[in-house]
Each structure stands twice: as C-alpha cells, then as structure tokens.
Amino acid sequence: MLKDTMHNAEQKLDQPVTLEQLIGKGQDLPSLPEIYLRVSEQLENENSSVQQIGDTVQNDPAITTRVLKMVNSAFYGLPNQVSSIAQAVSLLGRERLKHILIGSVLRGVFSGSDNPAFSMQVFWQHSIKTAIIARQLAQQTRQIDEPEAMFTAGLLHDIGKLLLINRFPERMLAAEEYMIHKRVDILSAELRQVGLSHTAVGEALMQHWGLPQMLVDCAGMHHETVHDGPHRHATHLIYLANCLSQYVPPLDHDETQTILDDIENWDMGALSLDQIASACQHADDMVFEVMESLGMVTLEISAD
C-alpha cells in the first residue's frame, strides 16, 4: 500500500478535486454541534444570564467536563477551583468561555476522521502548540486586541487538513510522500496530488460554519509570508506561531535567532527574541495539559 502511494506520488493528479465538489451546495459537511451554536448565541446576548448559559452547557456532560478541566488547568492559572460553568463565565468572561467552548467541541466534530495513515494526536498536538504560542505572543504585543481569539485561530488553522484526510486519505498520504520525496512545500504537494490546498479548504469550511472573518483569514493565510488587509496582524501571528511550533525548547538567544533567520518576515509583529523563546517554552510546557483537558489525548495501554 505504501509502495503504491509512493508510486502515485510521482504522478500528476489526473482529476483534481474542486472546492465546489468538496464544500459546494448539497455536500455532506461536518457541522459544529448544536450545543456550541446555542451557547454561542447566549454568550453574544447580554440578556442571557450566566446561570442560563451554565444550564445550557450542562445539558452535555462531556463538554461540561472538558470546559471545567480547561478552566481549572494551569493554562489559566486561576487561584481557586471552578466548580460550575456559571462560575467560569463570571471569572473568565464571555469572550474567553467562547474560545474554550470551541476547543471543547472540536474533537467531536471530526471523531470519524481517524485514519491509520495519519496520527490525529500529532495533528492536535501541532494545532494546540500553535494556538498556545499565538496566544502567548498576542499577550506581548499591542497589535492584537483579543489574545484569546488567537488561541482559537491557532487551534483551527489546519482544520482543512482534517476534511481532506477524511475524504481523500490516499491522496493526502501521496501529497505527504511527494512533499518529502521532492522537497517541496505542503501546499504545492497538495495541489499536485489532491487539487486543493488545506488552506483553501479550511477557509471555505470555516466560512460555511459562519465563523468570524479573522479566523477564516488565519486559516487561509497561515502559509503566506506577506500579510495585508484588516486582519494582517492576526494572520501574521498565526503564520509565525505555525512556523515556531515545530521547534523544541529550550531555545537560547542564538538558537532562536537561527530559527527566525529561516522564517521570512518574522519581525513584522515587533516581537523580541526573548518573547518568542518564552512563548515556545510556555507552549511546550502546556501542550499536553491543554490536549488532555480538551479530550484530544489518546491513551495507549500496553499489552504488558
């Protein structure tokens, strides 16, 4: 099977997939859970009480558990244990809870996407590490108004990959082999083997979900080196965080500089080397705890 895939990777795709075929009218697309939509509406409505929001979330015990685990994790560092959703809303605010909520439901949206050729745990580790770096860097710059939104943007930036893996696993595996064998970037490999890039698919899927345009733009532009438009600071930050997420701390000053020398336009965000190294270290420290809180860790039990 792998030999066949590598052989296919050498060949140009005869019938490329189009965005209309994947996300056009009448296509069966994954949906955000009803509870997410209901709670999001309540969080936007100032007339909804914290108790009403808590009651809605608690209709789904699994999501309630994930939200409370995330709120009580070291990632937020609250001084006292939070025991209810209503208390979480009061302490963290509606905006933060909204971003925690989407992380809590996201794993379930693609629960049927597991494929032996791809590691979902590796995928979520990269996404969450990118999200933590982006949030940490956003807290260090005046260019981003809502650092919490950058966590969501990082979490969702590669979401197009999940849909492509779900629908075209063999083509996506061929793209990965082609990228490695031919030493090309992942977008070029996907365009050759699938006909679509994961950035275009993620952008279209998030538009289908009706998510904020800033999140849509971050999904669509996180491999771009030049950023413009109303969300240029956010898209650049996700681009930078995505690049940095592959490196393993601790990073000293020289190591950080060497890494950044390979990231085009890294300094657009006016961030220092110390801030970047610190963000990478924080992400490395927190990534497993955040994954576990959001239900994205697969426990493997040895036969021994």
Q: Which pLDDT band holds residue 1 (cuts at 50, 70, 90)?
A: very low
What residues contact residue 180 under an 8 Å CB cut-off, 6+ apart?
none
Residue spans of beta strands (DSSP E) within the chain: none
For residue 240, which of 130, 162, 115 has the smallest C-alpha distance? 130
- Highest averaged pLDDT of the listed ranges 7-11, 13-17, 179-183: 179-183
pLDDT at 2: 41
Complete domains list, the chain, with CATH: 14-28+113-298 (1.10.3210.10), 31-109 (no CATH)
Say whether pLDDT at 298 is over 70. Answer: no
pLDDT at 20: 87
Backbone angles phi, psi at 108, to 5 degrees: -70, -25
Say whether pLDDT at 266 is over 90. Answer: yes
Say whether pLDDT at 15 is over 60. Answer: yes
For residue 195, which of 26, 20, 31, 7 has the smallest C-alpha distance? 20
Nearest-angstrom CA–CA distance, 30 and 159: 11
Nearest-angstrom CA–CA distance, 88 and 94: 9
Say which DSSP state 139 is in. T
DSSP for 50-66 reads HHHHHHHHTTSHHHHHH
Max Cα–Cα distance, the chain, nearest Å = 60
For the CA atoms of 153, 17, 188, 227, the dihedral, rounded to the nearest 10 degrees, stands at: -40
* Burial (Cβ within 10 Å: 0-12, 13-18, ≥19) of residue 34: exposed
Say whether pLDDT at 115 is over 80. Answer: no
Tell me the two tokens of residue 92. Answer: 């963290």
DSSP-based helix, strand, coil % in the chain, nearest 5: 65, 0, 35
Nearest-angstrom CA–CA distance, 85 and 68: 7
Say whether pLDDT at 301 is over 60. Answer: no
**Residues 74-81: contacts with CB under 8 Å, at least 24 apart:** 74/286, 74/289, 75/132, 75/286, 75/289, 75/290, 75/293
Q: Comparing 34-38, 112-116, 225-229, which segment has the lowest mean pLDDT?
A: 112-116
Using DSSP's 3-state secondary structure scheme, residue 184 falls into coil
Tell me how far apart the terminal alpha carbons of the chain are, to the nearest angstrom: 30
Nearest-angstrom CA–CA distance, 166 and 155: 18
